[in-house]
Structure 1
Amino acid sequence: MMLLITLANSCKGQETEKKDNKKVNSSQSNIEKHQPFIYRSSKQHSTLNGAVSEFVWQIYQDKKGNYWFGTNHDGILIYDNNSLIHYTSKDGIGGNAIRAITEDKTGDIWFGTSNGLTKYNGKEFTNYTIDDGLIDNEIWAIEVDNTGRIWIGTVGGVSIFDGNNFETLEVPKPNVPNPEPMLSKNRVSDILIDKKGHFWFVNDSYGITKFNGNQYEFFTTENGLTDNNVAELFEDSQGNIWIGTFYGGVSKFDGKTFTNFTKEGIINGLETYNFCEDKAGNIWFSAENYGVYSYNGKDFTQFTVEDGLATNTIQTIYEDKKGQIWFSTWEGISLYDGKEITNVYDKESWTK
């Protein structure tokens, strides 16, 4: 496959039309939504013009093999193996900071943005905001459960969307001494639905809340967690829950006990996140300013700028269907094919 990406150029915005909507005032937790904003494209996307952010926040590959790159403030880039397309709020996306991307069972792509929830069905964008019942417009996490419901973590808490109505879920928090939330005490910055169908929520400086459908369970440093300031959750193929934190390194929870990998132990760097398991079962994660680690169950291997990474600060790690590992950074994208790392920066093309 020939991959040609020119991050120096942005795509010319599609001509769109904005449909009228009817608003319904509502304040209850289970809310009837009004007609959401829908944007329809009137022509195919043309060429790329203008600068695109090098700060790629999210990388996602859908069922069709398309790559989606969510940026920090320049919307979304889509690579369909033939061309690169750029969408921003001018084209219909709710907000230009894209912090979460997922695909539902019908093939619709969902984006958590800085200004609400956006759905893309391949032809049009549909946006949902607090006017539709969303608890907060600043979204940090999206997950789809086995019934097709969308779970949304926001600065203001958790919303659940069944395709018609939004419901607010009040997530209880564990008691933590002297918590110092980064953004909001109600923020849920990550949501994990594990293989058993249990829900895990990252509370801003309040550790972790787990919900099994009937009751809640809490995890903090009192239980063995390395740090209450949790950044990210990840479940591996063996059912272990990996927890990246802001000040304590990495915790692994096997369902009974925690194993902690900290700066005093094996890894450098206290701020860890961006977990990924490759096809060989290796666990990848980033450590702020220390690049990336790969763990094979026994040993850690570190990758830094000295090994070819664009920077030592990584925003996302993602394995594609070919087994290649993608790293989004503050200065572009790095790709590891198992042998070497290739980078694409602003004003450059990437061919492989």
Structure 2
Amino acid sequence: MIKIKLIIICILSFPIYSCSEQKSKNELQNVTSETDSEPIRSNKKSFDKSLLSPDFNDQINQVVRTVFQDSKRNIWFGTESGAFKFNGELLIYISDIISKSGKGVTIKDITESRDGKIWFGHTAGISSILGESVTNYYESDGLISNDVWCITSDTIGNIWIGTKNGVSVFDGQEFSNFELPEGIIDSTVGVSSTKMVHSIKEDSKGTLWFSSNAGLFSYSNDMLINVTEKAGIQTNFVNEIFEDKKGELWVSTKKGLYNLSGDKIKNITEGKIKDGKGIGSIAEDKDGNIWFVSNQHFLYTYDREKLIEYQKSEVNKGPVIFQIYKDQDDRLWFVGYGGTYRLEDGKFINITKNGPW
């Protein structure tokens, strides 16, 4: 288990406290921020290496929207107060992911492109980090909307951005719009639109999948297919698609969890759990069991034969889950309202600013 080095407190602006890395117990070495003098498209700023409060009981953030592990094994957290990076020793706050007016953002999704850049979709546009350089992009740069809900990188290096107003594609130089059919507003959630795109994923065969308020769409060889109509999915409200290690696809929708295997489709939750707000995040554990969230509060596993509800208790509570994520060590992370947790030996372990990592 890796332990974080001793962390000191210093006060910055609300809501984040930051200070430079501590090199020893008695000596504080300041980290100087270097700003690139030649901006790329919008703001190109330095990477602020800042540490957090030493209080072990403090959450990374009370609302964590997403978690992601990059190719260098760094773990990134997207929260309502911005982005954090755990580099194996230190938890670092990324201060330069900001709106065009300089305000903080809520991170909704994180991905890595083939050139090693880390990309963030957030409430004020998108941002990328390469080394210690942060670049922010907004509608003024050509993005279709600053209200970004998902972001992914494909195998040829394009960045796909799903927003409240549709899809943008960034080729490294400029943005273009990608047209999807228009859907309807979901009145049961706080934020919705006819062009809302919840998730964009590329599968192992290079096919792109779009989960939207108009249904599930696949895109390959310049052909867009309405999979909702073709497969007979009973709702156009699709939240995300997940590919397991066998290559089978799992689709979370307002009307249940679907399994797509070849030309076969099956709603595995139909008649077994209430629809409500539908199925949310999906992940697969090291044993091949599928984990998913239902109605924001209920956690289930599926072993290809039966559904089992994971029973929380007063002494074993997790968050209201936004995302389930499996890291490179086959550990399951659960993030959402209430902070960051891992599931270990059947118990939720709260991961705070000081771990346990």
Distance of aligned partners of 1:326 and 1:213 in 2 relative to their CA distance in 1, 3 Å threshold: same
After superposition, where does 1:236-315 map in structure 2 within 5 Å? 236-246=244-254, 248-262=255-269, 264-265=271-272, 271-306=278-313, 309-311=316-318, 313-315=320-322
In the TM superposition, what whole-angstrom CA distance separates every residue of 1:14-68 from its partner, at most 9, and x where no partner exists? Answer: 876776788xxxxxxxxxxx72210114x74355489863110001111121111
Which residue of the partner structure matches residue 225 of structure 2? 217
Mapped to 1, the partners of 2:220 and 2:267 lie a distance apart of 24
Question: How far 1:118 moved relative to its partner?
Answer: 0.3
Is 1:45 matched with 2:53?
no
Offset of residue 335 of structure 1: 1.1
Distance apart, 1:3 and its partner CA: 4.4
Amino acid at match of 2:236: N
Post-superposition shift, 1:296? 1.9
Task: Answer whether contact 2:333 2:341 (CA < 8 A) is retained.
Answer: yes
**What residue ranges of structure 2 are gaps of 5+ in the alignment?**
10-14, 21-31
Output one character per residue of 1:76-107: Cα deviation in whole Å (capped at 9) or x when no partner: 1211221111224xx34445210110111222
DSSP 3-state at the match of 1:285: strand
- Secondary structure in structure 2 of the residue aligned to 1:306: coil
Is the Cα–Cα contact under 8 Å of residues 124 and 147 in structure 2 kept in the other structure?
Answer: yes
Aligned counterparts, 1:85-164, within 5 A: 85-88=92-95, 91-94=96-99, 95-164=104-173
CA deviation map 1:265-287 (0-9, x unaligned): 26786521211122322211111
For residues 273 and 60 of structure 2, what CA distance do their matches in structure 1 show?
37
TM-score normalised to structure 2 length: 0.81
Q: Which of 132-141 and 309-318 deviates more?
A: 309-318
Contact 1:292 1:312 in 2 (8 A): no
Q: 2-side partners of 1:122 and 1:286: how far apart?
A: 35
What is the letter of the counterpart of residue 199 of structure 1? L
2-structure distance, mates of 1:326, 1:46: 22
Matched residue of 2:89: which SS? coil
Structure 2: how far apart are the matches of 1:288 and 1:81?
34
Query: Does the Cα contact within 8 Å between 2:198 and 2:212 map onto a contact in 1?
Result: yes
Normalised by the length of structure 1, the TM-score is 0.82
Q: Distance in 1 between matches of 2:333 and 2:233?
A: 29
1:312 positional shift = 6.0
Q: What SS does the aligned partner of 1:220 have?
A: helix
- Report the CA distance shift for 1:275/1:143 in structure 2 as closer, same or farther (over 3 A): same
- Read off the aligned partner of 1:186 and give its amino acid letter: K
The answer as to whether partners of 2:111 and 2:120 remain within 8 angstroms in 1 is: yes
CA contact (8 A) 1:155 1:184 kept: yes
Q: CA 1:315/1:230 → structure 2, altered by over 3 Å: closer, same or farther?
A: same
Matched with 2:2 is: 2
Q: Work out the CA distance in 2 between the residues paired with 1:198 and 1:259.
A: 21
2:49–2:93 CA contact under 8 A, matched in 1: no
CA apart distance, 1:300: 2.6
Alignment of 1:313-324 (within 5 A): 313-324=320-331
> What SS does the aligned partner of 1:131 have?
helix
Q: Is the 8 Å Cα contact of residues 108 and 121 (structure 1) preserved in structure 2?
A: yes
Q: Which secondary structure does the structure 1 equivalent of 2:313 belong to?
A: helix
Please give the alpha-carbon distance, in whole angstroms, between the structure 2 residues aligned to 1:304 and 1:291.
Answer: 9
Structure-2 separation of matches of 1:57 and 1:281: 24
Q: Which SS does the other structure have where 2:66 is aligned?
A: strand
- Secondary structure at the aligned position of 1:227 is classed as coil
Give 2:204's aligned residue.
195
Asked if structure 2 preserves the Cα contact closer than 8 Å seen for 1:154 and 1:187, the reply is: yes
How many residue pairs are counted as aligned between the two chains?
329
Q: Do structure 1's residue 60 and structure 2's residue 65 form an aligned pair? A: no
TM-fit CA distance, 1:340: 2.9
The 2-side partners of 1:332 and 1:44 are apart by 22
Q: State the alpha-carbon separation in 2 of the partners of residues 10 and 65 from structure 1.
A: 25
| 1:154 to partner: Cα distance | 1.0
Structure 1 residue 224: deviation in Å? 2.4
Structure 1 unaligned blocks of 5 or more? 23-33
Cα distance in 2 for residues equivalent to 1:304 and 1:235: 26
1:26 alignment counterpart: none
Task: Answer yes or no: is 1:333 the counterpart of 2:334.
Answer: no
